[in-house]
Amino acid sequence: MSLKKLKQDWECLASADPMWAICNDPLNEGMRWNEKEFFLSGENEINIVIEYLRFLGLDIDFNGTALDFGCGIGRLTQALARRFSLCYGIDISSGMIKLANQYNAYKQKCIYLENFSDKLNMFGENSISFIYSSLVFQHIEPKHTKTYLKQLVNILKPGGIFVFQMPSCFMGPEESFLKKLRNTLQLRTRIKRCLSFAGPCHVLPAIKQPGIKMYCIPIKEISSIIESRNVKITDVVNTNSTNVNFNGRLIYLKEEELCGGYISKQYCVVKQ
C-alpha cells in the first residue's frame, strides 16, 4: 500500500469515526467511544509503559522532548504532554491532526504535525528524548516502516528511549497468510459497518471502503535495522495489542498470545 493510499484511508476514517479507527474495540463501533474514557485509556497506557521502563532500570528524561509517532487525535500524545517539557504528535492524516488540535489541552507545549512522507525532516538528529508508537506500524507497509524506524532512531538523543509496538508473524507461510487474510477481511468488515453508522465519507467521497491492512515484521529483521544504527534493543515483551478486545487496555504478557496469525511485540530501544 502506498503512503498516498494510506493517507486517503485514514482521512476517510478520521471523518467517519476517528476514536474507533484508532482504538477499534467492537463495543465502541459506530461513534460509541466516550471522549473522557478514550483519553483516559491513553493516560493509563502511558502509565503502564513508564512503570515498565522503570522496572527495566531506565531513566526517562521528562525535561526533554517526547514524540508520539502516528498520534491520531492525541490519545497518547496528551498523556505524554502532561509529563514532558515539550511533546510532538505526528500523523499522516490532516483530519486526525485537526481533531488533535481541537482536543489539545496543552497547547503551550504540545504540537501536532501532519507528515505525508517517510522522511522526518522536521526534527533534527539527536533531538528527541522519548519516542512512543503503538498500533501504528502494524498498518504501514513494512518497506515504509523500516524507513521510519531508521529515521526515528536518528532523531533520538543519546541516552534517549524509543518504545514501539509491532506484530510478529507466528505461523508457517501458507497458514499464516490465510490467517492474516481472514483477519484483514474481518477488520474491513468492521470498518465498513463503522462507516455505515457514521454516514458517507465527506473527505474522500470516491473511497467506498478504506483498505486497512495488518502487517508484521519478524524480530530478526527489526533487530537488524535497529542495531545497525548505534542503538541497542534493551527489551522485547509480548503485549495484548493485536487482541480484538484490546480497547486501549495495555497488558504485558508472559507468553505469546496469538491473534489472527499475529503476536504483538513491544520493543524498547536505547540509543548509546
Mean pLDDT of the chain: 85
pLDDT at position 266: 97
By the 10 Å C-beta count (0-12 exposed, 13-18 middle, 19+ buried), 235 is classed as: middle
The pLDDT value recorded for residue 25 is 75
Q: How far is Cα 148 from Cα 130, in angstroms, rounded to an integer?
A: 15
Check: CB of residue 20 under 8 Å from CB of residue 247: no
Give 6-40 pLDDT, tens digit per residue. Answer: 999 999 999 989 999 898 777 777 788 999 999 99
Q: Name the more confident of 187 and 221.
A: 221
pLDDT, one tens digit per residue, over 126-152 is 999 999 999 999 999 999 999 999 999
The cell for 267 is 520493543
The three cell numbers locating residue 247: 480497547
Domain range for 243: 3-271
Q: Work out the average pLDDT over 182-191.
A: 47
Q: What is the DSSP letter of 138?
A: G
3-state secondary structure 32-76: CCCHHHHHHHHHHHHHHHHHHHHHCCCCCCCCCEEEEECCCCCCC
Asked if 139 and 5 count as a contact pair (C-beta separation under 8 A), the reply is no
**Sheet of strand 252-253, all strands in order from the earlier edge strand to the far edge:** 110-114, 86-91, 65-69, 128-133, 156-169, 262-271, 231-239, 252-253
> What confidence tier does 168 reach under pLDDT thresholds 50, 70, 90?
confident
**When comparing pLDDT for 252 and 199, which is higher?**
252
Residue 52: predicted pLDDT: 97
- 175 touches 257 (CB < 8 A): no
More confident residue, 91 or 186: 91
Residues forming a β-bridge with 114? 91
| CA of residue 132 relative to chain centroid, distance | 8
| Cβ atoms within 10 Å, residue 134 | 28
Q: Are 218 and 168 in contact (CB under 8 A)?
A: yes
Cα-Cα end-to-end distance for the chain:
34
The CATH number given to whatever domain includes residue 173 is 3.40.50.150
Q: Is the pLDDT of residue 187 over 60?
A: no
- Give the count of domains, the chain: 1
| Model pLDDT, residue 108 | 95
Per-residue confidence band for 188, with pLDDT thresholds at 50, 70 and 90: very low
Q: Is the pLDDT of residue 173 over 60?
A: no
Q: 48-88, pLDDT tens digit by residue?
A: 999 999 999 999 999 999 999 999 999 999 999 999 999 99
Please say if the pLDDT value at position 121 is more than 80. yes
CA angle 114, 118, 122 (to 5 degrees): 55
- pLDDT for 112: 98
Give the pLDDT score at 170: 60
Report CA-CA distances (Å) from 222 to 105, 205, 218, 227. 35, 37, 7, 8
Residue position matching grid coordinates 480484538: 244
Residue range 257-267: mean pLDDT, rounded: 81
Largest CA distance in the chain: 51
Instruction: Give 205-234 pLDDT, tens digit per residue.
Output: 333 455 567 899 999 999 999 987 778 899
pLDDT of 2 over the 60 cut? yes
pLDDT of residue 91: 98
Q: Cβ(225)–Cβ(1) under 8 Å? A: no
pLDDT-derived band at 185 (thresholds 50, 70, 90) equals: very low
**pLDDT higher than threshold 90 for residue 174:** no
* pLDDT at residue 41, as a whole number: 95
| pLDDT for position 245 | 79
- What's the confidence (pLDDT) of residue 175? 42
